[in-house]
Amino acid sequence: MTGLGCPADLPICNPFQYLHQLVAAILGAILPEPILTILVTALSIGMVTTLVAIIVMSQVWAERRVVGFMQGRLGPNRVGPAGLLQSVADAVKLLAKEIIIPYQADRGPFLLAPLLVLVPSLIVWSVIPWGPGLSVTDLNVGVLFVLAMGAFPTIGILTAGWSSGNKYAVLGGMRAAAQLISYEIPMVLIVMVPVIIAGSMSLGGIVQAQSVAWFVFFLPVGPIALLLFLIAGIAEVNRSPFDLPEAESEIVAGFHTEYSGMAFALFFLAEYANTFAVSAMATVLFFGGWTGPVLPPFLWFFIKAYVVFLALVWVRATLPRMRYDQLMRVAWKVALPVALLTVGATAAEVSLRAMAA
Amino acid sequence: MPTELLVAGGFYTFAVLAILGSIALILSRVIFRSALSLTLVLASVAGAYVVLGADFLAVVQILVYVGAIMVLIIFGIMLTPQQVVLETARDPGKAVAGVAVAAAVFVVTTGVLLGSTWPRSNPTPVDMPTTAILGEGLLTTFGLPFELASILLLLAMIGAIVIAREE
């Protein structure tokens, strides 16, 4: 299954199938079928993980450059052309640094925490479709799966905060937990809007349901739902203006105060992987995913996702950090009621349209 | 045949993980580590659900238990720093009483488990999305229990707000 403008025999348009054929051609004679399937799945996961790592590097560069320009300065521009290799240099630097474990820290959980944060952020990418049939797996509960994996890193952040043996880390962890729990509820509700319109919880199904019109144009609920989704999404990935768990002017660096070297880099990686997951989910749920004319589907997907990401960067460069009570008030007194009403209105509108048709 | 092998392998892997997590949970003296072990148990149960074809249940298990309940438990633990490490019981009387209660619970539970007949469900897996069947079931056949559970949760929520309100 391929989309418009992308011939099926081109490896880049159909990478998973191509990978399967390649592995089957090389190892098919030696290995039995189930092991072959497991191997191909593992390789697909490796492929997607590598892709996410590359995306994160591009994002870090883009964010620093764009914020730099928005603030009337240049941003990184020394390493490589236009500073493109800055992220690579940073990654190498972080890899070479020592991981310091504080004397007061609880060793096991301290080292486990970055993985608890990063792994779910990567698992999310197994269901996000960047083209027709282009996801490691298309679950029929895909939307809920993404939400569930989005809830998992909270445990990791709390673990990081608690096991560091540092009061600022504990405070950051607590803030993160309270924030994530509060915004999880409007998030789950608002994601139900595209699900109700599409009549499917599979991400592939939701994209296909938008081949006629994007859900953001499903008036009047579409734009409201998108706005709430982005607000809740920014809060869930702890980005500015909701970055209170790592507010440097109050609690040093929050839950990752005591982390250094690659352990810190894993938190960083997870944060950007999550940010791009929010952009990708907004693309899939509201902007028609990979659908689009002329260009190959995966290009459309990445173009849309990067546009949403740039909007998030814009928000970050524009708004100051919120105060804690403001954050909570928005969650419980604005986002939650509006989300509930929007879901109700969507259900009413969908059934009215069905009756009219 | 290989698929069945994979399913069985997956199920027993998650089962063993859940049991190991439970053992770690009761053996650890640091409450926070116990909470992490509990997370492992709950996630393993979700994994077992996936292997058994109940994908919706698995995802909701993660979303509710790991995403909400575990976070609340850990939150509670972090708010009570003086009780983070459990002291060893020095009183031998307490130890004897504890062992006696634990043994009694063990005997009764094992007796019930061994005495029950375990009906095997129809092993044909459901091919269509389980969400549709679940949704229909909740709003038709099990409509009354579903509404009762909703009212119960609503009451609990109002109760929590009333208790938490300072006046």
Comparing CA positions, the residue from A193, A115, A111 lying closest to residue A152 is A115
Whether residue A109 and residue B71 make contact (CB cut-off 8 A), yes or no, is no
Give residue A213's pLDDT: 78
**What does DSSP assign to residue A32?**
-
Coil, strand or helix at A4: coil
> Is it the case that residue B159 has pLDDT exceeding 50?
yes
Q: Does B32 touch chain A (CB under 8 A)?
A: yes
Chain B contacts of A145, Cβ < 8 Å? 59
**What does DSSP assign to residue A5?**
T
What tokens does B103 get? 């043994």
Percent of chain B topping pLDDT 70? 86
Give every residue of chain A whose pLDDT is below 70, as ranges. Answer: 1-14, 28, 133, 247-250, 253
Chain A contacts of B131, Cβ < 8 Å? 140-141, 201
| Residue-wise burial string across A44-78, b where 16 or more C-beta atoms lie within 10 A, e elsewhere | bbeebeeebeebbbbbbbbbbbbbbeeeeeebbee
**Closest Cα in chain B to A110:** B33
- The structure tokens 């999880």 sit at A184
Q: What is the mean pLDDT of residues B93-119?
A: 88
Give residue A2's pLDDT: 40
> Is it the case that residue B156 has pLDDT exceeding 90?
yes
Q: Does B30 touch chain A (CB under 8 A)?
A: yes
Give residue B158's pLDDT: 92
In tens, the pLDDT along A135-177 reads 777 777 788 888 888 888 888 888 888 888 777 888 888 888 7
Burial class (CB in 10 A: 0-12, 13-18, 19+), A252: middle
Chain B contacts of A170, Cβ < 8 Å? 78
Burial class (CB in 10 A: 0-12, 13-18, 19+), A229: buried
Whether residue A174 and residue B71 make contact (CB cut-off 8 A), yes or no, is no
Whether residue B67 and residue A184 make contact (CB cut-off 8 A), yes or no, is yes
Give residue A265's pLDDT: 83
| Predicted-complex ipTM score | 0.76
Mean pLDDT (chain B) is: 82
Whether residue B32 and residue A141 make contact (CB cut-off 8 A), yes or no, is no
Largest CA distance in chain B: 65
CA dist., res. A289 & res. A343, Å (int): 21
> Is it the case that residue B1 has pLDDT exceeding 50?
no
> Is it the case that residue B81 has pLDDT exceeding 80?
no
Coil, strand or helix at A327: helix
**Closest Cα in chain B to A116:** B36
Chain A contacts of B69, Cβ < 8 Å? none
Taking the CA of residue A188 and the nearest CA in chain B, the distance in Å comes to 10
Chain A contacts of B75, Cβ < 8 Å? 158, 174, 177-178
Interface test with A, best of B6, B45, B59 (most A CBs within 10 A): B59
Query: φ, ψ for residue B119 (rounded to 5)?
Result: -65, 135
Whether residue A147 and residue B68 make contact (CB cut-off 8 A), yes or no, is no
Give residue B124's pLDDT: 59
Give residue A64's pLDDT: 84
- The structure tokens 């062992």 sit at B99
CA dist., res. A256 & res. A169, Å (int): 6
Chain A contacts of B129, Cβ < 8 Å? 140-141, 201-202
Which residues between 103 and 132 in chain B have a beta carbon less than 8 angstroms from any beta carbon of chain A? 129-131
Give residue A321's pLDDT: 80
Q: Which of A32, A141, A154 shows the shortest C-beta gap to B56?
A: A141
CA dist., res. A313 & res. A66, Å (int): 8
Give residue B109's pLDDT: 93
**What does DSSP assign to residue A237?**
T
Whether residue B36 and residue A178 make contact (CB cut-off 8 A), yes or no, is no
Q: Does B71 touch chain A (CB under 8 A)?
A: yes
**Closest Cα in chain A to B69:** A181
- Spell out the SS3 assignment of chain B: CHHHHHHHHHHHHHHHHHHHHHHHHHHCCEHHHHHHHHHHHHHHHHHHHHHCCCHHHHHHHHHHHHHHHHHHHHHHHHHCHHHCECCCCCCHHHHHHHHHHHHHHHHHHHHHHHHCCCCCCCCCCCCCCHHHHHHHHHHCCCHHHHHHHHHHHHHHHHHHHHHHCCC
Comparing CA positions, the residue from A116, A68, A147 lying closest to residue A256 is A116
Q: Does A43 touch chain B (CB under 8 A)?
A: no
Give residue B82's pLDDT: 56
Q: Does B78 touch chain A (CB under 8 A)?
A: yes
CA dist., res. A141 & res. A201, Å (int): 5
